[in-house]
Structure 1
């Protein structure tokens, strides 16, 4: 009888551990944006690096119990574009930022996402346009403006 009680205790503990884990499911957003001064600063891309474009790959994770935001992983690649392709020339760079993210509701139709890096780096903010689109905001909370080649809108994959 004592061993049955121990087994029940072990199963209960495993259940609590499983419930406290971050969901393996994620929502992923991707984009290719200009490599301007503001995103360079946000992503810590050296100003001396030749950089024309940035490819963003943002994964947002939620707590499986209540769907609250938990952590994010942002992988980015940057450099000079390779003519007549969507890729990079040789000599591209890349980086990763990780940390916690949060959502803030303003009014009934405006939602902001804020990425807080775990290292001492500036936060990165987006406005949610709909379930499939996020748009990068500058440090003053204004929409970043792209150009004919690339925008600052991340698309859900």
Structure 2
């Protein structure tokens, strides 16, 4: 039986579970997560969408309940269809499907992605959907083999809490550090779209007040002999005439988590540095200058995915 998996991004119980050290469980209910994802075959299978249907992306609204009256239950509503050009919506409003059921919790200690797994079960879901608590505000979809799903240049596989809360959680370890540090690919390209205003504020970027999304392309290069990080190129539509170039570095360990892996652009210029949490070889998450995860909205998340032709096999 196949299971499609979703992982919440940082280390605090979110729904009806024992909280990690130094954090408190969130008692409000329901907790709603939203986002827009691609429509790859593994997701279509679980959600009952035909593989030959013309679908560009899927909008998600997931409610998780923790109160005593409806504990361990969920509702999921998806809207999907062909993208309406020059909008963030669908042609003819798209199609809607709804699911309801229950969830259980287990630990994923022996799976590629570490964390607490939430299994969503519903008669209308083919197999099931699973989630893990990694942060109060973020979820990320997984492949059936419990690896992070990589999106494309238009959409990614992160869901965002509709009403974010302040997080004191340490950054999560999503994969073995050695796989990221010893990677032997000379050049990799990540791309994606993010909200505009929040990241412009986090990194003091110039912006127009009507800017609501940014397109990003990040190229990371390694030395051809040692495979140590060497140079990078970063471009976005915030300044189409400018490509940022410089050095990049891998950071292992931050306060609260000695095993987490970050990528830092311009380590020699800390005032200009961008930071990313390395989810695995295929997925990066933008951080702010305080090295905290950023929460997106129902249209875009702060996630970059490796280009399709470069993705690690079976992921």
Give the shorter-chain TM-score range: 0.7 to 0.9
* C-alpha distance in structure 1 between counterparts of 2:34 and 2:120, whole Å: 15
Corresponding residue to 2:126 among 118, 121, 126: 121
Matches within 5 A, 1:37-76: 37-64=41-68, 69-76=71-78
What's the secondary structure of 1:78's corresponding residue?
Answer: strand
Greater relative contact order (CA < 8 Å, ≥ 6 in sequence): 1
The CA distance in 1 between the partners of 2:124 and 2:39, in whole Å, is 22
Quote the Cα distance in structure 2 between the aligned partners of 1:119 and 1:24.
Answer: 27
Preserved contact between residue 28 and residue 57 of structure 1 (Cα < 8 Å): yes
> Aligned-residue CA RMSD in angstroms?
2.3
Contact 1:31 1:55 in 2 (8 A): yes
Select the residue among 119, 133, 138 that pairs with 1:133.
Answer: 138
Q: With structure 2 as the length reference, what TM-score do the two structures score?
A: 0.39
On the 8 A contact 1:100/1:118 being kept in 2, the answer is no
| Local SS of the residue matching 1:140 | coil
Task: Specify which of 134, 142, 151 is matched with residue 147 of structure 2.
Answer: 142
Give the 5 Å matches for 1:6-17.
none
Partner Cα distance (2:29, 2:131) in 1? 21
Report the alpha carbon displacement of residue 69 of structure 1 after superposing the two structures with TM: 4.7
More helix by share: 1
Q: Give the TM-score normalised by the residue count of structure 1.
A: 0.75
Q: Give the Å deviation of 1:125.
A: 1.7
Distance 1:129 1:146, change over 3 A: farther
Larger displacement relative to structure 2 (71-80 or 111-120): 111-120
1:136 touches 1:153 (CA, 8 Å); kept in 2?
yes
Q: 1:125–1:138: 8 Å Cα contact kept in structure 2?
A: no
What SS class does the counterpart of residue 121 from structure 1 fall into?
coil
- 2:95 is aligned to 93
Q: How many residues align?
A: 132
Q: Which residue of the partner structure matches residue 258 of structure 2?
A: none
* Partner residue in 1 for 2:39: 35
Cα distance between partner residues in 2 of 1:116 and 1:128: 17
1:153 and 2:158 matched: yes
> Which of the pair has more CA radius of gyration?
1
- Write the distance in 2 (CA, Å) between the matches of 1:147 and 1:96: 25
Segment of structure 1 superposing worse, 50-59 or 112-121: 112-121
Structure 1: gaps spanning 5 or more residues: 1-22
Distance 1:91 1:45 in 2: 17
